[in-house]
Structure 1
Amino acid sequence: MNATASALTVRDPWSLVPSLGNLDAYISAVNRVPLLTQEEEVNFARRLREHGDVESAGKLVLSHLRLVVSISRQYLGYGLPHGDLIQEGNVGLMKAVKRFDPDQGVRLVSYAMHWIKAEIHEYILKNWRMVKVATTKAQRKLFFNLRSMKQSLKEDSADGATHRNTLTQGEVDTVAERLNVKREEVLEMETRMSGGDVALEPQTDDGEESYAPIAYLADDSTEPTRVIEAHRRDWLAGDGIAQALDALDARSRRIVEERWLKVNDDSSGGMTLHDLASEYGVSAERIRQIEVAAMKKMRKALAQDA
């Protein structure tokens, strides 16, 4: 038996590969796993397809883990953890192994590439931004090609302005033509990709007042409790005050109106306690006592109408 066959006859083939917790060790281990010959690959695939042999499926997956690592490196520019990209790619590899038909005359490596990329693409689209940037097939194609095309166009530009973050009008037209999409779609996708996420909640724990978007995005003007409170305030400021004043005798009412409700042209307010005391021929303290009693009576009247 050759080295390849003996290496893949381990009862638990996954024991050859460490967990993704140590990424460097994992990559090193999968790169040491021997590749299958075409004959071995076909035999394992047929045993899986005809007999549901799980051990054969494991050997097919194990021998192609290095392919997932290689493909996942192409997507490191999106800022997502390499280990997560590999893990999602492994899911795609297992789906490919399950659906692989050895009688089609195609090697598993070629067939699996589509499934591996599809799973990685889906993971990136779900996690690269909180809001999805691409939903249709055309948008996905644009999303995964725009970044590399932008870099290529900048390197080929006559002015050598590789520091530019936006595309020129000519570059937009070039991308649209190559990808067979509308230039408006290119501009929209570039805007989506250049925009970052904004946290709704405050990101500091220093105890200081923070004005995160959550503080001003909410519109509570139509919240039932606030609507009721607003109606109540409006009533108190209008009909409520008028009804409360009607409960007072003439002198008490005039004192309250002069002290609290009257505004002169010079914005100086109404009469003072001493002005009212002189008019009624009593002391300023007496006017204050009448005012306090009137205010209590008004509050009682307002409470009854609540």
Structure 2
Amino acid sequence: MANTILQETTKLSNGVEMPVFGLGVWKSSNKEAAESVQTAIKNGYRMIDTAKQYGNEAGVGYGIQKALVDNHLNRKDLFVTTKIFNGDQGYLSTLRNFDKQLEALRLTYADLLLIHWPVEGKYEDTWTAMEKLYKEGKVRAIGVSNFDEKNLDDIEKMHRLMPVVNQMEFNPLIQEEHLFNKMNGLGVAMEAWSPLGGGEALSNPDIQAIADKHGKSTAQVILRFDYQMGVITIPKSAHEERIIANSQIDDFALSEDEMATIKGLNKEQRSIWHQDFAWHKGSEETGVKDEVSSWPDYDEYLEKKITY
């Protein structure tokens, strides 16, 4: 029986259909990213989320092309998201560097392009550049990541295109209630990074009790909670059994009481936020380096050939 979660899409405000469930590759080397992307696509995943800042776009690009060949798929069968690197933000820098990201990904277009973090003094110009990329057809949709209510207000005041997605930390321990309500009013879809909430959420006794009742893992219960909240979800794993298990959430549903129990765990406590994150002031002030160079296998996968 087909996994309906992996086939399900949601219509973004610009009309593009985006899968509601996919694979994230944060903190994966290029080798790990290439392998997990191939595994996910083989097992029915059709959405892949990466970023230049992860340093693994080359591995993701190799994994995508290899999986397309191996599984007899076309590019249009996949939905690929990447993000504007914080050190590339600004109008001209965004335009100059995005083509290099497409080259690393072995793609002619991205399905969704996000501003990775709202770098002060730059994200408005970055957004203007992304609007240009959208109008040129190099991306099918544009959005943001880690944008709070003020940041969204700044984009709205520009009287141009609004983001179709805001990718935020979202899980049982941080549910972004006020921001979620604002986004709903603006027609901006919520997408979750860190959708499982780490060890504290995965070991929570209330979630464990719900999992035991349904014969599921705590991870599957949390991902089902995210799904029933209407949140697009991209859990990361490098292990095939977990990649498969993460998506097996279409054969049960959480009751209203169970949803209320998990909602009651909300602490609105972010693990990372841009005011405390070194990148929020930009590379010139912080001296933080491009993470692309942090993986020794980046160039290897950039040059790695596909065997047909």
Under a length normalisation based on structure 2, what TM-score does the superposition of the two structures give?
Answer: 0.21
Higher share in strand:
2
Under a length normalisation based on structure 1, what TM-score does the superposition of the two structures give?
Answer: 0.21
Larger Rg: 1
Greater RCO between the two (CA within 8 Å, min separation 6)? 2
